[in-house]
Amino acid sequence: MALPYKTRRRLSLLILLIGLPLYIVVAVNVVGLFDRPPIWLELLIYIGLGILWALPFKAVFKGVGQADPDAPDDDARN
């Protein structure tokens, strides 16, 4: 079942404003539990975690920056 455009927009905003900062805090705390790895490995871990968080939300973010496809056209009203 596809989510309507407005729902996807609101959900994506919620994910970015609340979910992403929480995910960052969790990722930093989890990486902090281990001895500090070399900087290149730590960078790879954070890049991997940065990509990993977005994968489940791909369908939510898809097309959110575009115009509302459900909105009536201005030309159709005339």
Domain assignment present for residue 78? The answer is no
Give per-residue pLDDT as tens, 21-70.
Answer: 998 898 889 888 888 888 998 888 888 888 888 888 888 888 777 777 77
Region of 63 (left: φ > 0; alpha: ψ -120 to 50; beta: rest) is: left
For residue 76, being part of any structural domain is answered with no
Q: Does 72 map to a domain?
A: no
27 falls within a domain = yes
For residue 16, being part of any structural domain is answered with: yes
Which range of residues forms the domain containing residue 24?
Answer: 1-57
d(CA 28, CA 18): 16
Counting the structural domains of the chain, the total is 1
Residue 31 lies in a domain: yes
* pLDDT tier, 74 (very low <50, low <70, confident <90, very high otherwise): low
Which of residues 12 and 1 earns the better pLDDT score? 12
